[in-house]
Amino acid sequence: MQLMSEKSAAEGGLRERKKRATRAALAEAAVRLAAEHGAEKVTVEAISAAAGVSVRTFFNYFDTRDDAFVVIDAEAGARMRRAVVEAPAGLSPLEALREAMAAELAEAEQQHELWRLQAEVLHASPHLLARGVGAHRAAEEDLADAVAERLRGAGGTGGSGPGSEPGLYPRLLAAVASVAVRTSMDHWSAHQEEAAFLDVFREVFTLLAAGLPAPSA
């Protein structure tokens, strides 16, 4: 048992780094090829070839061909979970989720070109959007748990037992937050010139916090 913390980029031994590199290469190849030829026309074989590995290896990294277009960072879920639990006490659950996701998305947006390409790909192939970012089911469950844990910690009783199923409220919150991400991406990719992505994202949360009233003007 070593006390390493291997969080982000260049941590771990050669093995770990190679794995990360391979995964990233596959994901990037998938997005680039999809942006160029359309997601439907991109075969696993093409992705694997572009990343320099065998087809079989592709499936060691992704359960499904479509996952390669969607999952850019596999550890984002865990980070968001922590961010939600540890967010300042003054924030509402919705705000805590917003900030956790905004931080994550801001980081993803650093790789500007790739991010933009991915948004285009997802916009062009809506069924991929359904899996988008937080939609990855595991991440959503994680978020629901995180919300439940946060509520327990604050003294309120919104969740149920410690390890058991999260209640209706945390579940709904996680689902809504994840749908907020994909709606933002979808809308933004259709209006990339007009507004920055994170602004769209925050506007969505503003609408949600206001209870989705009819736009007055």
Partner DNA sequence: TGCATCTTTGCATACCATGCAACTTATGTC
Partner DNA sequence: GACATAAGTTGCATGGTATGCAAAGATGCA
Per rule CB under 7 A, is residue 66 in the interface with DNA?
Answer: yes
Could you give the CA distance from residue 42 to residue 124 in angstroms, rounded to a whole number? 14
What type of residue sits at position 154?
A
3-state SS, 117-163, equals HHHHHHHHCHHHHCCCHHHCHHHHHHHHHHHHHHHHHHCCCCCCCCC
Q: How far is the CB of 174 from DNA (least distance, A)?
A: 25
Per rule CB under 8 A, is residue 23 in the interface with its own copies?
Answer: no
Which residue stretch of 46-54, 83-91, 154-162, 173-181 sits at the interface with DNA (rule: CB under 7 A)?
A: 46-54
Per rule CB under 8 A, is residue 77 in the interface with its own copies?
Answer: no
Sketch the per residue contact string, 17 through 36, with DNA: x for CB under 7 A, - otherwise: -xx--x--------------
Could you give the CA distance from residue 99 to residue 80 in angstroms, rounded to a whole number? 9
What type of residue sits at position 17?
R
Which residue stretch of 9-17, 130-138, 139-147, 190-198 sits at the interface with DNA (rule: CB under 7 A)?
A: 9-17
The binder of 179, among DNA, its own copies, none, by C-beta within 5 to 8 A per type, is its own copies
Cβ density class 14-30: b for 16+ within 10 Å, e for less = eeeeeebebbebbbbbb
Is residue 18 within 8 A of residue 24, CB to CB? The reply is no
Using CB under 7 A as the criterion, which residues of the chain lie in contact with DNA when the complex forms? 13-16, 18-19, 22, 42-45, 52-57, 59-61, 63-66
Using CB under 8 A as the criterion, which residues of the chain lie in contact with its own copies when the complex forms? 92-94, 126-127, 129-131, 135, 137, 141, 151, 154, 156-158, 165, 168-169, 171-173, 175-176, 178-180, 182-183, 186-187, 190, 200, 203-204, 207-217
